[in-house]
Structure 1
């Protein structure tokens, strides 16, 4: 591994670690008691679209029995909907429902609002760096997701 890749690996590892801490801090500060797996599941469905339960469990990094419970809770809240699987008439896919999209958007807004005071002293250039970082990450992850799905 050359020096540039080693440095990039270190930066990416640090980024993942600090974003996990940031996520935990924001969730604690909002007082939200919803399981992180619930938000992760809605995020997966929003990003990748409808999928079967087993695939959803894999993407959300939980067991299938755990995903069954999460889906039951989300269904009770009307945050997801079941749709017929076009490739198998006996199977169903899970999709995010409009109420689930609104709940996820509200949660993300609460996280951002909660964290904003920690960063309110950043100058416009630093805010632009954060935005560029988000854009780079989203682009890289989208490209990687397409490669994995192919």
Structure 2
């Protein structure tokens, strides 16, 4: 198997895991909401346009989603101090708690699918997750600097 094939296998497995998680949890909250909370948790307050770009949705779509999430108390909106025409969005403590609760629910729903792993396989998964996190964080930082 080539390195490109290994990367493809990881991508397909991640997509499958995401779909399985949605089915197992029967969570009706749009995945865009969880993605938005995660992005804001990881990046801090962002303008709606930047949040839309990072989430890969249109700005009007993100504006609608943000409005719904503000109504739910998950996010706050404020005028950007650097440009009063722009809006900055920030996750609230309720939003952080909702994300944390969802991640716990997600983990417990998927755990049975990993019951048969050996310690060596757990070590391999842990190492893979660490490598992916490190390299993807570095790629994201490089992409942000290039903008």
- For the criterion TM > 0.5, the same-fold answer is yes
Are residues 1:9 and 2:13 paired? no
The answer on 1:59 being equivalent to 2:54 is: yes
Distance 1:10 1:42 in 2: 31
Deviation string 1:21-67 (CA, Å, 9 cap, x unpaired) is: 11111111111000011111111111222111111111111111111
Query: Quick one: which of 110, 114, 122 aligns to 1:115?
Result: 110
- Determine the C-alpha separation between the residues in 2 that align with 1:16 and 1:43: 19
1:95 counterpart residue number:
90
- Residue 142 (str. 1) matches residue 137 (str. 2): yes
TM-score (norm 2): 0.92
Name the SS for the 1:32 alignment partner.
coil
Q: RMSD between aligned alpha carbons?
A: 1.4
Q: Which residue of 1 aligns with 2:41?
A: 46
1:83, CA displacement in angstroms? 3.2
Give the Cα–Cα distance (whole angstroms) in 2 for the partners of residues 127 and 84 of structure 1: 46
Structure 1 residue 85: Cα displacement: 1.9
Q: Deviations over 1:99-148 (max 9, x none)?
A: 11111111111111111101111111111111111111111111111111
Matched, 1:68 2:63: yes
Number of equivalences: 145
- Which segments of 5 or more consecutive residues in structure 1 lack a partner in the other structure? 1-5
**TM superposition shift of 1:7:** 1.8
Runs (4+) off by over 6 Å: none
**Unpaired segments ≥5 residues, structure 2:** none
Give, in whole Å, the separation in 2 of the partners of 1:13 and 1:100: 33
